[in-house]
Amino acid sequence: MTGTAARRDLYGSLRGQVSNQALREAMLAAHGMKVARLCIPEDQVGRTAETLENAGLWVDLHDMKHVVSSDSGKGGWVSGYGVEVPIEFPGTGYLLLYAGDDPAEVLAAKKAEHSNSHARFGSLLGYPECCTRFYDENLAIAEEAQGDFFLQLLDASVPPGAEGPCVFPAWTNVAPQYFGYGLISFYPCSFFCERAKTVAIRSHQVLSGYDPGLADEFLRYARAPVLYTEYEGIYLFHDAKLAGNTMIYDPGKVESTLDGVLASVVRSCDRARVLGCHSVVLKEGDREAAYLSSPSMGLVFFEWDGSGKDSYLAGRADLKEFPSTRGDGGRRGAGEERGFGGRRGAGDRRGVGGRRGAGDQRGFGGRRGVGGRRGAGGRRGVGGRRGAGDRRGVGGRRSARGIPWRGPEFYRLPGDPGRR
């Protein structure tokens, strides 16, 4: 473990040099809690490695670089490794950097990842064993879409027969990772996983020792309800309230990874009636604006459980306590509803938090090499995944799981005479 002064210098040097989540990982490594594995743009690797070494950490690099492509609709997030190429290969890429206070563990982590020894790799990076097993068991399903595990995590966390809003502990909320504020670097086996919660609490404690304001910003993101979709963007509802089965929110406080069709609908409303984890009715006051339902989406709520933090839940409050944030005078009538044709462009929106880019994605080994060869673990990176040309267009795109993504199963507007 590096000394206190060295750790403070390390924090000061890395703050602003790397992403918030890479900063978190480096500080946990400096405290001797884990080996950190960082994915750093190749033009920044030398500076980052020198900073870590000056703090007394041991550093190792993988001898290949990765050329990646972002997931669709997730604001720069990358679920796969992309194509692995030689370092001297032309063009920019990312390098995997391993850092820790034990040189043997640093080397072991690099070897474990590139031999697809998931259990050993997860152990060295501080992942609970149950969560590593969850990764292995759900990898094939995740790769049918974009390699993301959020929906598998949601379904694994919902009790059988549950109806209405899904409310989970905020400590294990991984949705902030898409916006640059995750407290853990892995997908837990369940939102209720106590071992994952412990990792998150320790991460917050370490960050609080250097910057309480930044640590609390991580918590602010963790407590925000999230609407996750696989291709149509991810949405955080800051300061939202849950009254019974209805979420009341300020459309001006919605942060998203994508400005597109769904973003336009979400920001034209101020509440959502929750039918279940995968079904919701978006409303502007009492007017129903859209019905969303699909196994490839989920609206999820988070609260602090016994941690002394105030819950955001409003209990079973009367909805009259939450008038429309737009006011009666400013509400659009049914005939003025904004249709899908008037949407803004589909470019990825950069949110308030400066979310994590491709370089900070953490996954396991088994990527494809430059020749398209699949690694021993069988994980297909971005380079081996179907490209945009293999997927249906916006009007009728299907996810790789065969679920109609745009249509009555996902969107339905009041008064629609037929299928869109």
Extents of the domains making up the chain: 4-390
CA atoms within 13 A on the CB side of 203: 32
DSSP 341: G
Beta strands in 68-194 (DSSP E): 83-86, 94-100, 166-169
How far is 94 from 87, CA to CA, in rounded Å?
9
Structure tokens at 293: 């339902």
CB atoms within 10 A of CB 112: 22
CA 100, chain centre distance (Å): 25
CA-to-CA dists, residue 366 to 280, 302, 363, 393, 410, angstroms: 37, 33, 10, 30, 33
**Mind listing the pLDDT tens digit of every residue in the chain (420 residues)?**
568 999 999 999 999 899 999 999 999 999 999 999 999 998 999 999 999 999 999 999 988 888 877 776 776 666 666 788 888 888 788 899 999 999 999 999 999 988 888 899 999 999 999 999 998 888 888 777 777 889 899 999 988 777 789 999 999 999 999 999 999 999 999 999 999 999 999 999 999 999 999 999 999 999 999 999 988 899 999 999 999 999 999 999 999 999 988 999 999 999 999 999 999 999 999 999 999 999 889 999 999 754 433 433 333 333 433 444 433 333 333 333 333 233 333 334 333 333 333 334 333 333 333 333 333 333 333 333 333 333 322 233 333 333 333 333 344 444 443 333
Q: CA end-to-end span of the chain, whole Å?
A: 59
State the pTM of this model.
0.74
Q: Which helix (H) or strand (E) holds 86?
A: strand 83-86
